[in-house]
Structure 1
């Protein structure tokens, strides 16, 4: 009879150890998640574009149409998306930006940084079925003015003022959430 009790105690101790291991793994995962978010936020903040003191908010897109960012951002927050045809990460983010632009909920203006001539840019946009408004920053001067460090980078303008700046891969839901929050505050 005592053998049975010892077996049951051993089984309880093993189960308890299993629960303890699970909690330990969960705590470690949460801790690493928090550390990742803090580091990601700090790096994102450091690399984000910075609005120039006297920004050029009226530009011409690659098709010759005038784009007035200050006017666009009066009614709703406007997303400015800095990207390049040469940027491998942009091949992941551009389709989401294209869907956001197609939805029409918020104005979207993209700046193609050092992506070739207007003809080359037209071919690239056509090949990828991108229909967003695009300004061709052939020399990278616009990106430099905004102190851009990496592509992709994003700026949210409201009433002609920068509300948010961010970089890297941003899923569609994140961009929508950030635009919505910018429209609330």
Structure 2
């Protein structure tokens, strides 16, 4: 075999190159998905043994999360006015709340007093129900580690927990899955 014949034999066809690229994408995509899932599982909030599910929002309205979650799954969103990622996720939560297909309750962590929170909500045109966790006690009870964090409640029990940026379709899918299973 001559040198040029060896070179020709080692060159990949466009189809082989495409399959090689696809294989690489699938391998790295799978590794990323596994790592992302493991980190998300590790950082997710954990429902307390004796959770306080009867709370008052920053406007003085009483909320019973267990009762809210009996008809449909309820999304609980932990966030803060100081959280840079929350500036991207809160508009998505607002859209979900406005659609009114599922109850949405948010917990603003260490975001100032009720007036400061009210001003922030008004300035950002947020209409979602919000509990002001001024001291961060509620979030600490749920062993929250990062904001934003999310919990899906069904019949007063946590069915799912997640963290980070979540697209609207993902939140809707999780709520729907909690209503089915």
- TM-score bucket (shorter structure): over 0.9
**How many equivalent residue pairs?**
175
Cross-structure match for 1:24: 20
> Does residue 1:109 correspond to 2:105, yes or no?
yes
Q: Kindly state the Cα deviation for residue 126 of structure 1 after the two structures are TM-superposed.
A: 0.3
Cα separation, 2, equivalents of 1:13 and 1:135: 64
Cα separation, 2, equivalents of 1:114 and 1:13: 62
Cross-structure match for 1:145: 141
Give the ranges of 4+ consecutive aligned residues of structure 1 lying more than 3 Å apart after TM superposition: none
Cα separation, 2, equivalents of 1:77 and 1:19: 47
The equivalences for 1:170-185 within 5 A come to 170-185=166-181
Bigger-Rg structure (1/2): 1
CA RMSD of aligned residues (A): 1.5
The equivalences for 1:1-185 within 5 A come to 16-185=12-181
User: For 2:93, what is the secondary structure of its paired residue?
Assistant: helix
Cross-structure match for 1:3: none
Q: Give ranges in structure 1 of 5+ residues lacking alignment.
A: 1-9
TM-score, with normalisation over the residues of structure 1? 0.92
Q: Give ranges in structure 2 of 5+ residues lacking alignment.
A: 1-7
TM-score, with normalisation over the residues of structure 2? 0.94
